[in-house]
Amino acid sequence: MPQKLSKSSHLTPARAPITSRSMAIREIISLPDKRLRLISKPVEKITAEIRALADDMFETMYDAPGIGLAAIQVAEPIRLITMDLAKKEGETEPRVFINPEILSSSEELNTYEEGCLSIPEYYEEVERPAKVRFRFMDIDGKVHEEDAEGLFATCIQHEIDHLNGVLFVDYLSKLKREMVMKKFKKAAKLAAK
């Protein structure tokens, strides 16, 4: 998910990388790239490559700027999410979620204006469960269960959707969804010329 910022603000991530190597900004794939519809595979083992990917994803996410990024958005079809919902500019709260799965959802719903780094500069209100309980593995391989509500619940659902080949525009009316798809297909054709 993108970070909405005023023109005068910027993100300056001050965090130590997970690995000792330097991080790289990766290309974020966008509509109409068909890879966004792939179902990502579980991470079997946390390796140096997985840690390096997480570092690159943070670098990419902060540069975009965004608050959440799924590995498939950088063309890696594995079940890995990076997220930072720090509320104050200049502070960071980087989190990694590996093989996340929603265990339960509230009947109560919340509506947030969502956007997506893979659907640049398009925002729309989406209704989702207000609270979820989910299970995930952290970057050290420890399994956790956690409750999420508010923006955290929206963001974790949005990013898990990515891992399942679902985009936030799939929650819109058929007409709105078709308009968005048409717009991004046309832009891709123009960019290819």
Name the residue ranges covered by the structural domains of the chain: 34-192
pLDDT at 91: 85
The mean of the pLDDT values for the chain is 89
Annotated catalytic residue within 59, 114, 124, 159 = 159
**pLDDT at residue 37 greater than cutoff 70:** yes
Q: What is the CA radius of gyration of the chain?
A: 16
pLDDT in tens, 98-150: 999 999 999 999 999 999 999 999 999 999 999 999 999 999 999 999 999 99
DSSP 118: T
Ramachandran bin of 121, using left for φ above 0, alpha for ψ from -120 to 50, beta for the remaining angles: left
Catalytic (active site) residue 59: no
**pLDDT at residue 8 greater than cutoff 60:** no
Closest CA to 173 of 126, 140, 107: 126
The H or E element spanning position 129 is strand 119-129
- What dihedral angle (degrees, nearest 10) is formed by the CA atoms of 35, 181, 165, 149? 130
Q: What share of the chain is helix, strand, coil (3-state, %, to 5)?
A: 30, 30, 40
pTM metric for this prediction: 0.88
Which residue reads 């963001």 in tokens?
155
Contact (CB, 8 A) for 139 and 46: yes
Closest CA to 66 of 19, 25, 22: 25
Indicate the pLDDT class of residue 19, thresholds 50, 70 and 90: low
CATH 3.90.45.10 is right for the domain spanning 34-192: yes
Q: How far apart are CA 192 and CA 155, in angstroms?
A: 32
Kindly state the tokens that stand for 109: 């719903």
Kindly state the tokens that stand for 162: 């990515």
